[in-house]
Amino acid sequence: MQSLWRDDEAADYRGDLAQRVYTSRLLGRDKSLVLHGGGNTSVKIRERNLVGDEEDILYVKGSGWDLEFIEEAGFSPVRMAHLLKLAKLKALSDPQMVNELVTHMTRASAPAPSVETILHALLPHKYVDHTHSDAVLAVTNTADGPHRITEIYGDKVAVIPYIMPGFDLARLCAGLLPEQSGKNTIGMVLLNHGIFSFGATARESYERMIQLVDMAERYLEKHRAWHLQPAAGAVPPTTQPAEIAALRKSISQCAGSPMIVATLQNSRTLAFVRRADVATVSQQGPATPDHVIRTKRLPMAGRDVEKYAQSYQAYFAQNTQQGKEPKTMLDAAPRVVLDAGLGLCTVGRTVKDAAIVADLYTHTMDVIERSTLLGGYKALPARDIFDVEYWDLEQAKLRKAGKPPLFAGEVALVTGAASGIGKACVDALLARGAAVLGLDIDGKITTLHKRQDFLGIRCDITSREAVIAALASAVCAYGGLDILILNAGVFPGGTKISALDDDAWRKVMGINLDANLMLMRECHGLLKLAPRGGRVAVIGSKNVPAPGPGAAAYSASKAALTQLARVAALEWGADNIRVNTLHPNAVFDTGIWSDEILSSRAAHYGHSVEQYKKNNVLQTEITSRDIAELAAETCGPLFAKTTGAQIPVDGGNERVI
């Protein structure tokens, strides 16, 4: 491991806290050290307060901040004098500790301090760094981990047995650290947890961390436990999307709500899930208890969700009986699935959660394999893992999380998603918490949104092969399909029937009707597996009940599409799929309405363009957002008992009424 310190970069960070920010970000860049909010850093600074008194302040990383992107505002300033008094108490509960930390900050707007704040205060060093180094965990998570740590470091580090983070850990370190420290001591290893380094400057503390981790990496390399081999000629599975969707449905039923399932099928994950001993090595426990909040105690090997849930319930019952207080069980669904046919599947309430689980378990795989090569992977006992998973502080976070968004954990597909009504539908669904696949023949769909819960694919929806490939990508990314918005369509310029040629007719029918038939057919099997039931919203047209002259192909295609939707509602009700149609009119902020077409249609009716836009009973303009919001709502609980409906969104049209 190499230091990332650069003098030219560091020069831009002036002052003790700024230097703390810089080296914290350096640590955060290396995912083998910290992941997704893991680890913490601190600096002790003497400051003058508002009334002129000088006091020592501990600036420690605040809750919710990631070291890679932390700023000065991400550090919680806590009065050292009070922390040192707290450290002398014989006992301090977690809720009491959190209250004392928060109420003794010097800035009310600061984030809640780390649960390891008291430990940072007790360490007699200006700067303190703490990481969950993969290399160190690979060494400590073996049967003879303490001996190996001593072999690597000698008197450079103190060795602390595992204890749950918080007040008790601070007290334990306060007692053991002086006994083990000498002139060469530059850090501390917490077995099965992580490693600390200290220093008088930010650079010294940071580079000591790099030095200590590098020593662990070199030790692993010396014992041929560092370089991991990918599966020789690993061939990605040819799994059908329906298999992943079926697994997702089982997991969601177990969890009690829809879940995102992301599937990774690269050579690294395939090498691990196809190990002959994967059912054994994967069931020992997480690399560090800090990961268990996201990944749960154990991954599921195979696809038997019911068996996994029973095992988890037994684990909960056993440890609750041994515990001092009754606890409420979290859902028994897995967060990690290891399957030779599927690869590595990670589960989360959101796409972000599933991605975090994927990152954590990818590093866990490295730790497990290196520990195995070193002599055998050995995690903490189940009781210690249980205490972290059902930690009072974590339970309090869950209670504060509030009600999830309407479509949290669900997946939607929108066609014609690059502009107009389709783009507005994407926005409406994302705002309600859904992960969205957007399809469009316009290449700008691929950059419509830069976020994990949106996948934009350039796709000709008249091509079955392209649609099947797009669906496979979506299922691999998110796990299935819950909502289908059929929006893509074309509206040619006004042409009378006497002038309508066969090619123009077929083009309109091919896109507006045939492509939608194919999409519905290919999506049906996935919609059947939607945890809350599938939902389809079809964007029809006012021209269905009230066609206009010069729009024969468009009107006929939308009328046929409406009939198709009605038949689907009849046939798919038994599959718990509901299908409803919206009939918009005069939505002019869409791609099919060019200035030329708009002027032509306005002139046909003897109106100005502005009059034409509001030519309805309510004399109001209809926008893409109006259609999208209603389309999204028809897929929500308010329309849970409605299918086969046709809903006008036209401001009131006299011919329709």
Q: Which of 22, 315, 478, 554 is catalytic?
A: 554
Instruction: Please report, as a single letter, which amino acid is at residue 460.
Output: D
Q: Does residue 267 sit in helix, strand or coil?
A: helix
Say which amino acid occupies 221: E
Distance CA 58, CA 67 (A): 17
Burial class (CB in 10 A: 0-12, 13-18, 19+), 359: middle
* C-beta of residue 41 within 8 angstroms of C-beta of residue 130: yes
Which tokens go with 574? 């038994």
Burial class of residue 414 (count of CB atoms within 10 Å of its CB; 0-12, 13-18, 19+) = buried
Q: What gap in Å lies between CA 591 and CA 446, rounded to an integer? A: 17
Identify whether 554 is a catalytic site residue: yes
Report in angstroms the alpha-carbon separations of 273 from 108, 178, 276, 277, 353. 48, 44, 9, 9, 21
Going by their DSSP bridges, the two strands 54-61 and 577-584 should be labelled as unpaired
- Residue 311's contacts (CB-CB under 8 Å, 6 or more residues apart) are none
Torsion of CA 304, 309, 311, 313, to 10 degrees: -170
- Do residues 617 and 585 lie in contact, with contact meaning Cβ atoms separated by under 8 Å? no
Cβ atoms of residues 539 and 631 within 8 Å:
yes
Q: Which regions of 281-393 does DSSP assign to beta strands (E)? A: 300-301, 336-339, 343-348
**Residues involved in catalysis:** 554
